[in-house]
Chain A
Amino acid sequence: MNDGTTADGEHRLRISFVGSGSEYFRIWIVNLLLTLVTLGLYYPFAKVRRLRYFHRATEVGGHPLSFHADPWKMLRGYLLVVVLFAAYGVAGQFSAVAGLVAFCIIAALWPALWHSSLRFRLANTGWRGLRLHFTGSRGGAYVALAPGFALVLVASTALLPAGDAEPGTPAQELGPGFWLVALLPLLMALATPALLWLMRRYQQGHLALGAEETRFEVGMGRFYGLGLRVLGLTMLAAFVAGLLAALLAFGSGMGGNAGGAGGAGEPPSLANLLFMLVPVLVVFVVFQAAIGPYFISRLQNLVWNGTRSAHLRFESALRFRALAALTLRNWLLIVITLGLYFPFAAVATARLRLQAVALVSTLHPDALFSQVERMSESAAGDAAADIAGIDLGL
């Protein structure tokens, strides 16, 4: 086995990913065809097959994970979620008030759905013959999500009167609603790290294998630190893109004057239009290939390095540069192959992200595994989670 003992007497269980892109490509094509032919009804079956493949290919300390969910139960949960979102989408098309009501209903249900989804996913994940389980309570899910929903609700109600105003009459008087709307983006930006922290604390703090139950030991401040760095990078990218846009506009303006004898009223040519698109494209690529991977890698390391139980902890050392290079490569190849590279990209990303993580035990694995046993009281709860069959894929 590829277990190792560290200098301070800890034992490291490496995570390796043995899936292959070409194999997942075949699974993906066959299941995508079945999903489309059945008008989406096969989707849960395809999803179970995909999750089974990725679980089985993930080996922790030489032992693969397993995925046990019954696709028929997932079909029920999937239909429920589809109906819920269809209702939300339709309501939003009719009127803002109906959309708001639908949003409130979803907001009221969502934490409960999230909770059952987490329980379902973990209760159906096995390792060394044992099922994992999620010990978070339903109430905890509401605590974790309520502040975010409250903020969005305040935002939408503040925006509502603006929509009701007589069309055509400019809003001359700025009511308190206006200032609320103006401050909302700032408020949202300020709240995002805290909201993310609440969610991650709930998710990472309740993972359990037998009596080993994790706690989340990362303070909210670290999330704000990460948020600030991401914000700084974003502003830097925006500044560079702005500079680029100005340079290009200047350059193309010169060219237009030199060649365009037609007159002042001439609209921008297609080439000039493409020039103007370049900065937009640059910002997009920078976001996808640099800021996204930066955030993902730092967040993964932050979150998993702070997740530990009595005898186990995680070590995550995902490198930003490796993830950025891979992401750029994936994007390029997916676009060039018109999407056919997607399964290779999914496997390569899973490999990079999973193999950056190790499970570290303070006990010798033999001693640990002889004492890790299924908790009897959790079995009933897991069965209940099984009934709901909701998997939101979060």
Chain B
Amino acid sequence: MNAPAPAPPRAEPRADGPQALYFDGRSARAHAVQLGLRDGCLLAWRVNPAAPLDDPFDPAFDPTTVRRWPLAQVQWPERTRHGQRTLHLADGATLQVSDSAAFDAWRAQHGPRESWVVRAQQQWRSTLVALVLLLVVGAVGYRWGVPLAASGLVALVPAAADEAVGAQALESVQGRWLKPTQLPAQRQQDLRAAFAQMVAQAWPAGGAAGQAPGYTLRFHAATPELGPNAFALPGGDIVITDELVALLEGHDDTLLGVMAHELGHVQLRHGMHALAQFTLLSTATSIALGDFSSVLAVLPAWLAQMGYSRDAEREADAVAVRLLQASGRSPAAMVVLFERLGQRGGADEAAADRGPPMAFASHPADAERVRFFRDAAVGLR
């Protein structure tokens, strides 16, 4: 070893810190140093050049020099259970401490206080509190936050946007699920007229209910997968399949009730709400889990969206009840829909209201909806 003999440090600082490796930020060379704190400064000096270092022959490093940094220029590391501690200094230098336990003890005694986030991260108790709060925030966000934010977003979106979104959705649905209708023109015209009258009765001119939402009734034959079905798109397109008209043959009140239900979706802009809700939900879940798997992140968002969808169906059912009653019909007419659908298929096919049949969790249970319409008919709701 031809390094110079150790000279006592000039400032006579207390040797109160752990050993560290000093990197000047310009070269990858390491220098073993001793850390100390005095007079609001962090100090580092080389005490034992004979100790095994990465580079014991560094001529540039003067062993008598004490390096000092005002504490304001020191970025302290966040405490962790494993790993080394690295201090970053304003001049680009770093100090690396491998004896983390000694460093933490020294810092707790002399160094600055840790931020509350770091302290919270280090304790299981606060983690548990955070977990509980997270569940509460999640529940509140799901119950009130997302629907409220979605309503705010939808209120900002002009009605023209609904039409553009609906037009594009209709285009893609027409290509895959729908064919030109086979219904006689007279039958179509009768249904349109009956529904127009029903809407006019629910929203009388100058009445308190305001203006009826704009809508366009479209009759289409459906592919077998779609079958008897009706759905509403943003912008007011209401699609009724020929198969549904056939299923409800002789029960025009029921068919009008289905149309009223779809008009409820249009009036309450459920399509746009769903879009906004799903965007918000999937953003939240991908922040939490997106680093691991985007598939896994979308799954909870989709499940939550199904919950909102069931709520939307209940709201649309309420609109259907209102329209049926306003036109002097009984809400009990809707029960026929569920009976017919039940006769046609098993439990899996009951969701004959909107969208592809795969979304079978998007609607409340049939029994619940039948009860709702029955109760409405006898004036319980």
Q: Interface of A with B (CB < 8 Å)?
A: 18-20, 23, 25-27, 29-37, 40, 43, 49, 52-53, 56-57, 59, 62-64, 66, 68, 89, 93-96, 126-130, 163, 167-168, 209-210, 266-270, 273, 288, 330-331, 334-335, 339, 342, 345-346, 365-366, 368-370, 372-374
CA distance A32 to B117 in the complex (A): 12
Instruction: List the 6 closest pairs (A to B, CB-CB), nearest first.
Output: A129-B23, A369-B28, A372-B28, A26-B127, A128-B28, A167-B174
Please name the residue on chain B nearest to A374 by beta carbon: B26
How many residues on chain B are close to A (CB under 8 Å)?
A: 68
CA distance A40 to B77 in the complex (A): 25
Q: Contact between B27 and A369 (Cβ–Cβ < 8 Å)?
A: yes
Count chain A CB atoms within 10 A of each CB in B24, B58, B78, B121 and give the residue with the most.
B121
Q: Tell me, yes or no, whether B284 is within 8 Å of chain A by CB.
A: yes
Q: Contact between A30 and B117 (Cβ–Cβ < 8 Å)?
A: yes
Q: Do A19 and B82 form a contact, CB below 8 Å, given A32-B287, A270-B347?
A: yes
B96 / chain A contacts, CB cutoff of 8 Å: 63-64, 129
Of A36, A57, A267, A346, the contact of B137 (CB 8 Å cutoff): A36
Whole-angstrom distance between the Cβ of A288 and the nearest chain B Cβ: 8
B23 / chain A contacts, CB cutoff of 8 Å: 128-130
Q: Tell me, yes or no, whether B168 is within 8 Å of chain A by CB.
A: yes
Please name the residue on chain B nearest to A46 by beta carbon: B287
Q: Contact between A374 and B25 (Cβ–Cβ < 8 Å)?
A: yes
Q: Contact between B54 and A23 (Cβ–Cβ < 8 Å)?
A: no
A36 / chain B contacts, CB cutoff of 8 Å: 134, 137-138, 141, 284, 287
Count chain B CB atoms within 10 A of each CB in A63, A95, A129 and give the residue with the most.
A129
Of A43, A268, A373, the contact of B27 (CB 8 Å cutoff): A373
A368 / chain B contacts, CB cutoff of 8 Å: 28
Q: Contact between A267 and B174 (Cβ–Cβ < 8 Å)?
A: no
List, sorted by A's number, 29 A–B pairs whose CB atoms are closer than 8 Å.
Answer: A20-B81, A23-B81, A26-B122, A29-B127, A30-B117, A31-B121, A33-B133, A56-B77, A56-B86, A59-B84, A62-B98, A64-B83, A66-B86, A66-B88, A68-B88, A93-B165, A94-B165, A96-B168, A129-B96, A163-B171, A167-B175, A168-B180, A269-B348, A273-B348, A288-B293, A331-B296, A339-B296, A346-B291, A373-B26
Q: Tell me, yes or no, whether B196 is within 8 Å of chain A by CB.
A: no
Q: Interface of B with A (CB < 8 Å)?
A: 21, 23-30, 54-55, 58, 77-78, 80-84, 86, 88, 93-94, 96, 98, 117, 120-124, 126-127, 130-131, 133-134, 137-138, 141, 161, 164-165, 168, 170-171, 174-175, 179-180, 275, 279, 283-284, 287-289, 291-293, 295-296, 300, 345-349
